[in-house]
Amino acid sequence: MHGEYKMPGGKLVVIDLDLHDDRLANVQLSGDFFLEPDSALHTINAALTGQPADADEAMLTTAVQTAISSEVMMYGVSPEAIAVAVRRALHQGPDA
Amino acid sequence: MMRTDWRDHDWQLIHTVPQSPTLHMALDDVLTHEVGTGRRTPTLRIWEWAAPAVVIGRFQSLRNEVDAAAAQRHGIEVVRRVSGGGAMFIEPGNTITYSIYAPLSLIKGLSFQESYAFMDAWVIEALGELGIKAWYQPLNDITSAGGKIAGAAQAHRGGAVLHHVTMAYDIDAAKMLEVLRIGREKLSDKGTTSAAKRVDPLRSQTGLPREAVIARMIATFRRLHGLSDDSLRANELADAEALAQSKFASAAWLADVP
């Protein structure tokens, strides 16, 4: 499943994921944004993996926020934008 | 750490023979590290390309961004760089690419947005001297009334900032669109559905040979910030060649974001 969100004033935020037993699996965040350090990408993927398929944007935002340390710098991407891209992937399904 | 200014540093210029895409990726990694440790003073590197390439951003999905079959058909190597940002389509002679390696003190206290504009202010001035009224378009583009000219990306690591920019000198837009997958969502806030229309290259805007544009840029940097002619050291080149093979040419790195 694939979802894209162009963050207003930011960059393109893309999520690819599968669903296993109504939970997010194989979550892959990507896009043309900036993240420091780059290891934060894997931290965010791991934080989203296992979230329930019916998690709303607020829950997904919180999951990302709590997983990343205060040292992580985001430019052109945000926990909220990632949550929107996840919801779009879940809504649009495999053919989107 | 005190904020430093351009003139507090002894800037070095590296502008050497054409090099392979993977070696360029590795040189950015090695030279950022060398400036971070203080073994090298801050440096401007102008790239010359030995082969066509698609350079994708650190966080971009390989399969979402690149049509691998089209890239192979055109003999275009696909590489992943260390910084974020978007994909670039490179053909030798069609782009002007440079990297700036500086201590983080140069951008201390600046926001991301401010630091991008600060690192490229000399280029905006050089373009003005060439008759192009250009400006910074947040987050990371240099643009003019005619369209986008360049895209910038930064990576911060080990006390140093890597700031690199690719400017369009000329462009084969049809080939670019064959090789890069440019999604509808990406274009949703650009006011056009034609990616080709978004770029207005320097060749048509200046009427000058690429070498003349580069010479003007170097002269402007030298006048504003000071610049000594330098070359790659043997150990820097050896480190970069090893890293190009072990990391940047590897499938694991290229497909790190599949």
User: What is the per-residue pLDDT for B186?
Assistant: 55
Q: Which residues of A touch B58 (CB under 8 A)?
A: 35, 38
Structural tokens at position B67: 């049509």
Q: What is residue B190's three-state secondary structure?
A: coil
Q: Which residues of A touch B138 (CB under 8 A)?
A: 9
Q: Give the residue from chain A lying closest to B151, CA to CA.
A: A32
Tell me B75's DSSP state. Answer: T
Distance CA B79, CA B238 (A): 20
**Which of B154, B257, B258 lies closest to A34 in CB terms?**
B154
User: What is the per-residue pLDDT for B198?
Assistant: 64
Q: Do A32 and B84 touch (CB under 8 A)?
A: yes
Tell me A68's DSSP state. Answer: S
**What is the DSSP track for B194-236?**
-GGGGB--HHHHH-S-HHHHHHHHHHHHHHHH--EE----HHH
Q: Do A11 and B139 touch (CB under 8 A)?
A: yes
Torsions phi, psi for B88 (to 5 deg): -120, 140
Q: Specify burial of residue A62 (Cβ count, 10 A radius: 0-12, 13-18, 19+).
A: middle
- Structural domain for A18, as ranges: 2-92
Q: Which CATH superfamily is domain B6-249 in?
A: Bira Bifunctional Protein; Domain 2 (3.30.930.10)
Structural tokens at position B28: 């950015």
Segments of chain A scoring below 50 in pLDDT: 94-96
Segments of chain B scoring below 50 in pLDDT: 184, 188-194
**Which of B59, B156, B157 lies closest to A31 in CB terms?**
B59
In this structure, the number of other CB atoms found within 10 A of the CB of residue A64 comes to: 24
Does any CB of chain B come closer than 8 Å to the CB of residue A6? yes
Q: Do A14 and B58 touch (CB under 8 A)?
A: no
Does any CB of chain A come closer than 8 Å to the CB of residue B87? yes
Does any CB of chain A come closer than 8 Å to the CB of residue B139? yes
What residue segments make up the domains of chain B, in order of their start?
6-249
Q: Where are the alpha helices (DSSP H) in A22-70?
A: 40-48, 57-67
Site of tokens 């890293």:
B243
User: What is the per-residue pLDDT for B44?
Assistant: 98
User: What is the per-residue pLDDT for B61?
Assistant: 96
User: What is the per-residue pLDDT for B196?
Assistant: 52
Domain count, chain A: 1
CATH of the domain at A34: 3.30.390.50
**Which of B59, B138, B186 lies closest to A35 in CB terms?**
B59
Residues 22-81 of A with CB under 8 A from B: 28-38, 41, 73, 75-76
Buried b / exposed e over A10-46, threshold 16 CB at 10 Å, is bbbbbbbbeeeeeebeebbbbbbbbbbebebbebbbe
> Dmax over Cα atoms in chain B, in whole Å?
51
Torsions phi, psi for B123 (to 5 deg): -75, -40
Torsion angle of C-alpha atoms B100, B105, B109, B112, degrees rounded to 10: 20
Q: Which residues of A touch B61 (CB under 8 A)?
A: 14, 16, 28, 30
Distance CA B63, CA B50 (A): 25
Distance CA B84, CA A30 (A): 10
Q: Which residues of A touch B166 (CB under 8 A)?
A: none
Q: What is residue B109's three-state secondary structure?
A: coil
